[in-house]
Chains A and B, each alone.
Chain A
């Protein structure tokens, strides 16, 4: 068969034999120097004998230690450049196919076509395998045992396999193969590909029949289409027979004939061809299995890559937090200096003016002394100014509220799997948690617990206690935190407090009472709900009033009286009677409220949602439906969501003013958090929060995959309070533990 190729084109053969001779001669001369690298030098000399743009890369790849990576990376770089060039060229010249693109190249000629180089040399470079790679062959020591384990099956298979090859290649139009199959049996020791089941070549042979079938099917389809166009009913029925069943017997096997025949030869032929088919299927199966393994491996690799990138994001975000912290520190200082006119540069010029005067009087010697003195004087004066004006005045309050928000927001929580536990904060509090909030994911958490007036501050990233806020006289029932380090809390002592968290963190530089920027003190019973939009603060209290506060002045602007709510309406209900007696805490008169600009929504004990206009102080609309006290309320631009002790969550359409969605739980709702896609519902005495998908309008079951959740339930632990922002959920438990979840 070698003669066949030789006789095809004589000219080619001249060239070939010349180049082969040349390379053999070259190899001989090189082999004196180093036998091992003979291969490289052949290749090098052959490839470099062509003037091609690859010369530079090749030299780089071959000379620089010929490691697999360097060679490949050099090629990859070249390819990239080439691709870029070609993209540019493509715009100018549409005939120019982009180089190295399987999608574009219809055949080998297109594929290897490069400007400034001929097809052969580019082929050689592209298919070049470096020596390192060539020598890096997996060992075959482990494969021996496997083949010996099933010798019986092997013999059977061998003969079958030969038939398969023969069969397949015959179909593929090869030359007569009978003489080729025989030598296979004699050469009984090839171990190639033993470890991985079928070899690639087998896979190829096994896929040929499939391909033929698909071509046939296509043809049949075409025929069918034609037939249908012609409208021939007979043709249709015939085709139906053909398509009978998904599986067909191998070619030439007619089961009806075989069932009736007494010819042994016919039966044996049929048996053999079915055997062949089975074997083929077995190979296809193995190939599919190995493909699955391949994919698994890829998935594994991708997963580990994902982990690496994930770590990178985590690292970057930590760095961002670090920078933000320092930035805000600097901004604080700038603000302080600007506010109290402590600019050193100006002072310097001031001092220079003074010192020139003093220079004339006292001369050079005391110059520096006077300079220092004056500076101290000026500074002391201005420090007095600070102490006299105080830090808790209105100006600083506005200033604190007007500070810019953070420049960056953590997004790491989005890359955790849905419902996975991000972190567990053990024993944050000793008593059941009552209120929790955080500024940004992985930022600072504020948490309050029963019978404990202090509010604890916790670094979510470092899992570390960083301070506490003292000032309330009773435990905190509700809080709201924003990204400006401002925390508003409402307590059972009937006061609301505005805190600057920074001051508690700095540790030492501020007195504990200086952390509190303002106390809103007008209510006469415990605060049950609060909401702030940055300018005004709304608070609902057990004294059945809602007060609106101006955050800039700290004054109460408006009081909304809820006295019309009949206090005893649901007390007649026996169930809620016992419930409220069992619960030590009263049902809140105002379960939930939220403010946005002049719009206020309240959910109250009577189960009615009221929408208020704060400008007129009157109720605009009432949404009735809940049959028990509302305990939680949130709204966004389109919908208002309420949770109630009647164990339901209702979603109201704000524009239409009617019920949009409604779903029930096993126990009463105590808390509710929303974002665009999800509603997080905290249920009474439940070890896990419930999640509701707003888009698909369905509950998401078993979203949390924490292995400790069972344990939590056994301990009779329940979620006391939740806080949720940007896919990051904090749930505070009765045991004092806090869990961070990715939703």
Chain B
């Protein structure tokens, strides 16, 4: 139905770091066009290159640039949300990712599987993370309780 389907990245596309030289060229491209006023495409290129990198700080800058693109180009907003979701997901900012994908899914027709697949992934991730978190918290509480218990006993014995 749509030939542009493949035109969007999957989550896997966000991995695989670019060589530093390539990233540098992307950066120079943005700078040569005037930094904040560079064209949407070159800023996206740099942002996506940053997101692909393995350094969390670079990913953050990439997401920041993407959010700039989102703010400035209303026509690109829908795809930008998708990229933002992927970027945040990769960084582990699942709450942000969820926020973006929710906003996107709300307006996307239900047969857009790519978006909804990503949504599901984000949601399952959040679920597993929160479970782990809960487990961690309970373990900590349990340990604390045990510790206190031991301490109390010790003091009583004295």
How distant is the Cα of A68 from the Cα of B4 in the complex, in angstroms?
Answer: 31
Q: Most A CB atoms within 10 A — which of B4, B19, B90, B133?
A: B4
Residues of B56-71 contacting chain A, CB below 8 A: 56-64, 66-67, 69-71
A21, B129: Cβ atoms under 8 Å?
Answer: yes
Q: Assuming the A-B contacts A21-B130, A136-B77, are A198 and B7 also in contact, with contact meaning beta carbons closer than 8 angstroms in the complex?
A: yes
Of A199-207, A440-448, A722-730, the one with at least 4 CB within 8 A of chain B: A199-207
| B44 contact from A123, A162, A204, Cβ within 8 A | A204
Chain B positions within 8 Å of A25 at CB level: 130
A20, B129: Cβ atoms under 8 Å?
Answer: yes
Chain B positions within 8 Å of A108 at CB level: 50, 55-62, 64
Q: List 5 A-B contacts (CB under 8 A).
A: A46-B95, A108-B61, A124-B96, A161-B7, A203-B44
The chain B residue with its CB closest to the CB of A23 is B95
| Interface bin, chain A | 35 or more
Task: Determine whether A481 belongs to the interface, using a CB cutoff of 8 Å to chain B.
Answer: no
A433 smallest CB distance to B (angstroms): 50
Chain A positions within 8 Å of B56 at CB level: 108
Chain A positions within 8 Å of B48 at CB level: 200-201, 204
A294, B39: Cβ atoms under 8 Å?
Answer: yes
A21, B134: Cβ atoms under 8 Å?
Answer: yes
How distant is the Cα of A656 from the Cα of B77 in the complex, in angstroms?
Answer: 69
Interface string of A178-194 (1 = CB under 8 A from B): 00110111111111111
A154, B61: Cβ atoms under 8 Å?
Answer: no
A147, B71: Cβ atoms under 8 Å?
Answer: no
A55 smallest CB distance to B (angstroms): 19
Chain A positions within 8 Å of B145 at CB level: none
B129, A201: Cβ atoms under 8 Å?
Answer: no
A127, B83: Cβ atoms under 8 Å?
Answer: no
Task: Determine whether B150 belongs to the interface, using a CB cutoff of 8 Å to chain A.
Answer: no
B129, A17: Cβ atoms under 8 Å?
Answer: yes
B13, A189: Cβ atoms under 8 Å?
Answer: no
Q: Assuming the A-B contacts A1-B15, A190-B4, are A17 and B78 also in contact, with contact meaning beta carbons closer than 8 angstroms in the complex?
A: no
Of A167-175, A504-512, A563-571, the one with at least 4 CB within 8 A of chain B: A167-175
| A196 contact from B55, B69, B76, B129, Cβ within 8 A | B76
Interface string of B6-24 (1 = CB under 8 A from A): 1111111101111101100
Residues of B31-62 contacting chain A, CB below 8 A: 31, 35-36, 39-41, 44-45, 48-50, 55-62
| B13 contact from A22, A174, A187, Cβ within 8 A | A174
Query: Top 10 A-B pairs ranked by shortest CB distance?
Result: A21-B133, A108-B57, A154-B3, A108-B61, A174-B16, A109-B57, A187-B113, A127-B67, A200-B44, A17-B133
Chain A positions within 8 Å of B10 at CB level: 180, 183-184
The chain B residue with its CB closest to the CB of A9 is B56
Chain B positions within 8 Å of A195 at CB level: 75
A147, B99: Cβ atoms under 8 Å?
Answer: no
B6 smallest CB distance to A (angstroms): 4
B1, A188: Cβ atoms under 8 Å?
Answer: yes
Chain B positions within 8 Å of A126 at CB level: 64, 67
Q: Most B CB atoms within 10 A — which of A43, A101, A211?
A: A211
Task: Determine whether A49 belongs to the interface, using a CB cutoff of 8 Å to chain B.
Answer: no
How distant is the Cα of A120 from the Cα of B59 in the complex, in angstroms?
Answer: 11
A134, B99: Cβ atoms under 8 Å?
Answer: yes
How distant is the Cα of A101 from the Cα of B64 in the complex, in angstroms?
Answer: 12
Given contacts A190-B5, A287-B41, 16 further A-B contacts (CB under 8 A): A17-B130, A18-B133, A21-B129, A46-B95, A102-B30, A108-B58, A127-B67, A134-B99, A173-B19, A183-B10, A189-B2, A199-B7, A200-B79, A200-B83, A204-B44, A207-B41
A181, B6: Cβ atoms under 8 Å?
Answer: yes
A1, B109: Cβ atoms under 8 Å?
Answer: no
B136, A188: Cβ atoms under 8 Å?
Answer: no
B38 smallest CB distance to A (angstroms): 9
Q: Most B CB atoms within 10 A — which of A16, A119, A207?
A: A207
B8 smallest CB distance to A (angstroms): 6
Task: Determine whether A465 belongs to the interface, using a CB cutoff of 8 Å to chain B.
Answer: no
| B136 contact from A14, A184, A203, Cβ within 8 A | A14
A135, B103: Cβ atoms under 8 Å?
Answer: yes
| A193 contact from B79, B104, B117, B136, Cβ within 8 A | B79
How distant is the Cα of A39 from the Cα of B98 in the complex, in angstroms?
Answer: 9
Task: Determine whether B112 belongs to the interface, using a CB cutoff of 8 Å to chain A.
Answer: yes
Task: Determine whether A285 belongs to the interface, using a CB cutoff of 8 Å to chain B.
Answer: no
A189, B22: Cβ atoms under 8 Å?
Answer: no
Interface string of A10-35 (1 = CB under 8 A from B): 00111011111111110100000000
Task: Determine whether A314 belongs to the interface, using a CB cutoff of 8 Å to chain B.
Answer: no
B64, A189: Cβ atoms under 8 Å?
Answer: no
A165, B6: Cβ atoms under 8 Å?
Answer: yes
Task: Determine whether B107 belongs to the interface, using a CB cutoff of 8 Å to chain A.
Answer: yes
Chain A positions within 8 Å of B5 at CB level: 158, 184-185, 187-190
Chain A positions within 8 Å of B59 at CB level: 108
How distant is the Cα of A157 from the Cα of B6 in the complex, in angstroms?
Answer: 10
The chain A residue with its CB closest to the CB of B46 is A102
A191, B109: Cβ atoms under 8 Å?
Answer: yes
How distant is the Cα of A79 from the Cα of B95 in the complex, in angstroms?
Answer: 25
Q: Most B CB atoms within 10 A — which of A127, A129, A136, A194?
A: A127
Q: Assuming the A-B contacts A108-B60, A112-B61, A173-B17, are A2 and B41 also in contact, with contact meaning beta carbons closer than 8 angstroms in the complex?
A: no
Q: Assuming the A-B contacts A158-B5, A192-B8, are A137 and B55 also in contact, with contact meaning beta carbons closer than 8 angstroms in the complex?
A: no
B22, A215: Cβ atoms under 8 Å?
Answer: yes
B41, A18: Cβ atoms under 8 Å?
Answer: no
Task: Determine whether A212 belongs to the interface, using a CB cutoff of 8 Å to chain B.
Answer: yes
B22, A212: Cβ atoms under 8 Å?
Answer: yes
Chain B positions within 8 Å of A4 at CB level: 15
| B70 contact from A46, A133, A155, A190, Cβ within 8 A | A133
Q: Most A CB atoms within 10 A — which of B31, B79, B137?
A: B79
A204, B45: Cβ atoms under 8 Å?
Answer: yes
A128, B22: Cβ atoms under 8 Å?
Answer: no
Q: Assuming the A-B contacts A21-B137, A137-B107, A193-B4, are A169 and B126 also in contact, with contact meaning beta carbons closer than 8 angstroms in the complex?
A: no
Chain B positions within 8 Å of A573 at CB level: none
Task: Determine whether A138 belongs to the interface, using a CB cutoff of 8 Å to chain B.
Answer: yes
Q: Assuming the A-B contacts A112-B60, A123-B60, are A193 and B76 also in contact, with contact meaning beta carbons closer than 8 angstroms in the complex?
A: yes
The chain A residue with its CB closest to the CB of B17 is A173
Task: Determine whether B25 belongs to the interface, using a CB cutoff of 8 Å to chain A.
Answer: yes
Q: Assuming the A-B contacts A196-B75, A211-B25, are A20 and B133 also in contact, with contact meaning beta carbons closer than 8 angstroms in the complex?
A: yes
How distant is the Cα of A21 from the Cα of B62 in the complex, in angstroms?
Answer: 25
B3, A17: Cβ atoms under 8 Å?
Answer: no
Task: Determine whether B132 belongs to the interface, using a CB cutoff of 8 Å to chain A.
Answer: yes
B12 smallest CB distance to A (angstroms): 5
Task: Determine whether A42 belongs to the interface, using a CB cutoff of 8 Å to chain B.
Answer: yes
A200 smallest CB distance to B (angstroms): 4
Chain A positions within 8 Å of B70 at CB level: 129, 133
Task: Determine whether A103 belongs to the interface, using a CB cutoff of 8 Å to chain B.
Answer: yes
Task: Determine whether B153 belongs to the interface, using a CB cutoff of 8 Å to chain A.
Answer: no
| A174 contact from B12, B94, B130, Cβ within 8 A | B12
Chain A positions within 8 Å of B94 at CB level: 16, 20
How distant is the Cα of A173 from the Cα of B39 in the complex, in angstroms?
Answer: 26
Chain A positions within 8 Å of B125 at CB level: 2
A155, B75: Cβ atoms under 8 Å?
Answer: no
Q: Assuming the A-B contacts A133-B70, A165-B6, A190-B2, are A200 and B76 also in contact, with contact meaning beta carbons closer than 8 angstroms in the complex?
A: yes
Task: Determine whether A140 belongs to the interface, using a CB cutoff of 8 Å to chain B.
Answer: yes
Residues of A592-611 contacting chain B, CB below 8 A: none
| A42 contact from B55, B95, B132, Cβ within 8 A | B95
Q: Assuming the A-B contacts A43-B99, A119-B57, A140-B78, are A291 and B130 also in contact, with contact meaning beta carbons closer than 8 angstroms in the complex?
A: no
Task: Determine whether B114 belongs to the interface, using a CB cutoff of 8 Å to chain A.
Answer: yes
Task: Determine whether A695 belongs to the interface, using a CB cutoff of 8 Å to chain B.
Answer: no
Task: Determine whether A177 belongs to the interface, using a CB cutoff of 8 Å to chain B.
Answer: yes
B82 smallest CB distance to A (angstroms): 6
Chain A positions within 8 Å of B132 at CB level: 13, 17, 21
B2, A191: Cβ atoms under 8 Å?
Answer: yes
Task: Determine whether B154 belongs to the interface, using a CB cutoff of 8 Å to chain A.
Answer: no
B60 smallest CB distance to A (angstroms): 4
